[in-house]
Amino acid sequence: MCIRDRYDPAAMMQGGEAGLSEYKNTYRFSKETYENYYTYKASLISAGCAISAIDAMYAKVKGVERAFCVNRPSGHHAGKSSIGGFCFLNNAAIAARYAQSKYAVKQVAIIDWDVHHGNGTQDIVNEDGSILFVSLHRHDKGLFFPSTLLYHILESGAAEEVGVGEGEGLKVNIPWDVPEGPAAEGKIIDMDYVQAFKEIVIPVVKEFAPELIIVSAGFDAMRGDPLGKISLSPWIFHWMTRSLMEINPRVMVTLEGGYNLKMLTKGVDSCVSALLGVAREMPKEVAEQKATKEGAEAVRRSRDVLKKYWKCLQ
């Protein structure tokens, strides 16, 4: 999150070091993350939105099984004792812990499809045997944000990061390695996500059998996003949401990244339409796609790492 008159995430990523920033009455935590007087309150409201969604699903509103939180700041880069990537409090992890403590939910799956790895969420739940964490993200062999070059404490989302202790095997990373710059566009497409869901995400979530599914829904993997720079269409977010609902209809979605406002609107609309049960046909342009070489390799590598933990992948 950045509090400033004109929101330009691409420019923010070129910022300076931590300390007092050039923007009046703000403090820079890292090159992209600022705070001012209102940040903490805004972060509490954002996390409270996720908590309120859990309350609505479990207690307050009869018949509510699904919810979409239109909340910012986003949260998936906020770890146990760290912030970054516009994130201050981890909304998805807070919602998961709240559901477990308040409503005795035993097993929760957090699915993160933001283009950036949910490193903060992984940091929080890495040793937890009651939470399955799945992240599909651009990785570029550890050079894409948030990489280990930027965050020396938090992991970067390689396929080999599977959790530790009781959480071993429950941390599922599907990292896309694509060329830097304009060459990245078109390298990862809808059919790569379809393949990843069909071969890894859906069978693993089914085997885990969560009582609640939380989605960290970033829309910065859509074509035209100034930070993600890969090429998903709005339709894929409808399909992924419906696929998760078919496993368990109790799905709560919390907003993460998305920096092209026009495409963000389309992605959110596609996701919400699925939550409402509105059908959408696969566009012809998607039906004609084949998974890319880079996408197929990422899925193969993740399956090879994970198959010793999951019967469905053996």
Structure tokens at 260: 């092209």
List, in order, residues 6 or more apart from 240 with CB less than 8 Å away.
111, 113, 193, 197
- Closest of 8, 100, 11, 46 to residue 255, by C-alpha: 46
Q: Which of 76, 77, 117, 238 is catalytic?
A: 77
Q: Where are the alpha helices (DSSP H) in 1-76?
A: 9-12, 39-55
Instruction: For the chain, count helices (H), then strands (E).
Output: 10, 9
Q: Are 114 and 66 in contact, with CB atoms under 8 Å apart? A: no
Q: Are 190 and 235 in contact, with CB atoms under 8 Å apart? A: yes
Q: Are 33 and 86 in contact, with CB atoms under 8 Å apart? A: yes
Q: Are 129 and 167 in contact, with CB atoms under 8 Å apart? A: yes
Three-class DSSP category at 96: helix
Does 137 qualify as catalytic in the annotation? no
- Closest of 220, 271, 281 to residue 244, by C-alpha: 271
Structure tokens at 30: 């890292």
Q: Would you name the residues annotated as active-site residues? A: 77
